[in-house]
Amino acid sequence: MSVGRLRELHRSLKQVLDSVPEHGRDADRKFDAVAGRFLVDWFATDGRNQASNPEIWPYLTILVLPDLAVRRFGPDSTGRLPKDRYLSGRRNIFYRAYLRSWILGDLLSDPELPLYEDDLVGLVDRNLSADHRVARIIADQIRSLSGNENRREIVRNGLKAIQYELRVTDLSSLDDSGIRTAVSLAFHGPDFQHTDVFTRNASEAPAWL
């Protein structure tokens, strides 16, 4: 990117983040959602190949957007910044926001989809996002649990089950129907009942289930 383009990136992102409160309930989540959506649109224009370069993110975080980065993850009580939020990797401030928005899209802003931080960490930050179809289907499954009083526990156990299954099964090799069946069973177990989002059909289950 040219210097002028980098300045435009900072100016434009700061402008959209000015609408996000710096304190209060959900301030951090809103920051991530707004920044992520902006960066997805930005790299759609500038080229996704740039976003795929892991070294672009610490460069942007430290040299181009440092004031915005500190706003999101400032120094601790000793005055030190969290290194993993500024260096390359999935925990980088802006890369994690970009990746979540790119994978989950408008699901992040859907009022019927209360995706909380723990859910997002399990869904995206812990390598469940290698296949974006899998991540989106998991997000749909989480949405189907809205209002369930045991939702948090079901989500936690479901994500653990999927992470375990990914060690032995290539979910990306399945079609969408097979992935939905596998995800449903991971979240609900053998006693899974029909919901509006997923239809259990034994004939659709992959052979390994």
Is 95 in the same domain as 11?
yes
Residue 21, helix vs strand vs coil: coil
User: Which of 104, 123, 156 lies at the terminal end of a domain, its last residue?
Assistant: 104
Amino acid type, 161: A
- pLDDT band at 85; cut points 50, 70, 90: very high
Query: Which residue bears the tokens 């369930």?
Result: 148
Q: What is the pLDDT, as a whole number, of residue 111?
A: 61
Q: List Cβ neighbours of 193 (8 Å cut-off, separation of 6 or more).
A: 200
Same domain, 132 and 194: yes
Same domain assignment for residues 83 and 157: no
pLDDT tier, 69 (very low <50, low <70, confident <90, very high otherwise): very high
Q: Which of 104, 125, 158 is the last residue of a domain?
A: 104
Q: Are residues 133 and 67 part of one domain?
A: no
Determine the average pLDDT of the residues in 106-121: 63
Q: Is residue 121 located within the same domain as residue 160?
A: yes
- In angstroms, the CA 163 to CA 123 distance is 10
Domain hosting residue 87, numbered range: 1-104
Task: Mark whether 94 and 31 lie in a shared domain.
Answer: yes
| Separation of first and last alpha carbons in the chain | 48
- Do residue 119 and residue 84 come from a single domain? no
pLDDT value, residue 25: 76
- Asked whether residue 4 falls in the same domain as residue 98, the answer is yes
Residue 119 and residue 155 in contact, taking contact as beta carbons nearer than 8 Å: yes
pLDDT 10s digits, 8-41:
999 999 999 999 998 887 888 889 989 999 999 9
DSSP string, 139-208: HHHHHHTTT-TTHHHHHHHHHHHHHHHHTT--GGGS-HHHHHHHHHHHHHGGG----SS----GGGS-TT
CA angle 91, 93, 97 (to 5 degrees): 90
Kindly state whether residues 23 and 44 are assigned to the same domain. yes
φ/ψ bin of 76: left (φ > 0), alpha (ψ from -120 to 50), beta (otherwise):
beta
User: Based on the structure, what is the number of domains in the chain?
Assistant: 2
The domain boundary residue, chosen from 81, 104, 127: 104
pTM metric for this prediction:
0.69
Q: What does the pLDDT read at residue 193?
A: 41
Which pair of structure tokens corresponds to residue 83?
A: 């290194």
On whether both 100 and 2 belong to a single domain, the answer is: yes
179 lies in the same domain as 206: yes
13 and 85, same domain (yes or no): yes
Query: Hey, what are 79's tokens?
Result: 């005055």
Q: What is the mean pLDDT of residues 100-111?
A: 72
